[in-house]
Structure 1
Amino acid sequence: MATATLPAPTKGDRRPVRERLLASADELFYGEGINNVGIDRILEHAGVAKASLYSTFGSKDELVRAYLEHRHSTRRARIERHLAGKRSPRERLLSVFDAQAEALAQPGFRGCAFLMANAEQPGESRGKPVCDEYRAWIRALFVRLVKDTGARRAEALARQLLLVYDGATVAAQMDGQGAEAIAAARATAAALLDAATKA
């Protein structure tokens, strides 16, 4: 399974149609690409009729939007869970990289779902606003967490840390060495943060 955030449908699956369709989309879109997976593949994988897809989502574009919204929700929950376990502003910021390590360690990791979707979908697609919303959220998160540390030039440092975060994801995808990539990213983030918070 390609790091699906929902269990893949199985024969005789009794989950609601919406959940089965979303689970199929999650696995197939993430694993093979949005443009490579047609409606018929999703229907067969989910074990539902075509009418069910259209009555539930209305179109493939709406299913893509729902898939990306679910990915955003899952990523946000993972990061917030890691943040909740830390007290100091420094550890809270670095815990974002711990959450990333958890994602990169999942079997079938293929990279950032939002980066892949953004590359595949034209600007007017239904998924583009979700990618933009995710991107705005992660940028704002880094800015807020950096400001909480009292670091100098917080917005500039947040941009640098986001580049480190993005770079770790790309390195893990391209090199297949997620543990090394995230360890290097976390160490780089810590060094940048420490340099910006020294008196």
Structure 2
Amino acid sequence: MSDARNRLLGTASRLFYSEGLHSVGVDRILAEAKVTRATMYRHFAGKEDLVLAYLAEADKATRHNVEAGVAAAADDADAVRSVARGIAAHIRLEEFRGCAFLNAAAEYADPDHPVHKAVLAHRQWFLDTVTALLARVGDAPAERDGRHFVMLRDGAMAAGCLSDPGPIGDTLLEAVEGILRARG
């Protein structure tokens, strides 16, 4: 990747996450990234492509964090806990502004829009991943528990923006422990 593309994507990602996708204009991104409009169009067809690249980077980071936590886990139940601990740690970050994907879905509600489709693809990967992890713990079917885990994550992400994230993270971890106990 070129330095200019990295600056564009880094600046756009920071602004999109902290201020919202629709509220940040291309001119501001260009000014803060210190690149010309022509340079942007060499790398991105327009703002929508920049938004999609931002979400692709957020997806990549999430996948990396989940994979690293699972790889370091002592056993299958600890792998599930590791995912939950990663979420709890994320919402406790000072710069936390919610889930990039839930935020994007709120701004791009049309299910046929490419941004909304990118959100749905990420969420399906996450659901599939936690369901597969849960299936390795106990004998019960894991689909329902996977959906519960995703709802817990969504709730923690939303609540982490609205109140003290410390107790929210603790509540998420306690709820995931309940899922694991129920699985045997």
4+ long deviations beyond 6 Å? none
Q: Which secondary structure does the structure 2 equivalent of 1:149 belong to? A: coil
Q: Give the gaps of 5 or more residues in structure 2.
A: none
Partners in 1 of 2:182 and 2:127 — Cα distance? 21
Instruction: For residues 42-95 of structure 1, give each alpha carbon's deviation from its aligned partner in whole angstroms, at most 9, with x where no partner exists.
Output: 001100001111111011010000000001101111111111111211111111
Q: Which residue of 1 aligns with 2:9?
A: 22
Identity of aligned residues (%): 31
Contact 1:171 1:178 in 2 (8 A): yes
Q: Which secondary structure does the structure 1 equivalent of 2:153 belong to? A: helix
Q: Which residue of 2 aligns with 1:9?
A: none
1:29-108 → structure 2 map (5 Å cutoff): 29-108=16-95
Contact 1:79 1:99 in 2 (8 A): yes
Q: Give the gaps of 5 or more residues in structure 1.
A: 1-14
Amino acid at match of 1:102: A
Contact 1:17 1:52 in 2 (8 A): yes
Partners in 1 of 2:35 and 2:156 — Cα distance? 38
How many angstroms does 1:152 deviate by? 1.6
Amino acid at match of 1:42: I
Partners in 1 of 2:97 and 2:139 — Cα distance? 33
Partners in 1 of 2:128 and 2:136 — Cα distance? 12
Instruction: For residues 130-182 of structure 1, give each alpha carbon's deviation from its aligned partner in whole angstroms, at most 9, with x where no partner exists.
Output: 1111101110011101101024231111111221121111111111x222111
Amino acid at match of 2:34: G
- Bigger shift: residues 78-87 or 91-100: 78-87
- Bigger shift: residues 42-51 or 142-151: 142-151
1:196 aligns to 2:183 (yes or no) = yes
How many angstroms does 1:190 deviate by? 0.6
Partners in 2 of 1:196 and 1:158 — Cα distance? 11
How many angstroms does 1:122 deviate by? 4.3
Partners in 1 of 2:16 and 2:131 — Cα distance? 31
Tell me how large the CA RMSD over aligned residues is.
1.3
Equivalenced residue count is 182
Amino acid at match of 2:33: A
Q: Which residue of 1 aligns with 2:98?
A: 111
Q: Which secondary structure does the structure 2 equivalent of 1:152 belong to? A: coil
Between 1 and 2, higher relative CO (CA 8 Å, sep ≥ 6) is seen in 2
1:172 aligns to 2:180 (yes or no) = no
Q: Which residue of 1 aligns with 2:149?
A: 161
Partners in 1 of 2:31 and 2:109 — Cα distance? 26
1:152 aligns to 2:140 (yes or no) = yes
How many angstroms does 1:196 deviate by? 2.5
Task: Give the TM-score taking structure 2 as reference length.
Answer: 0.94
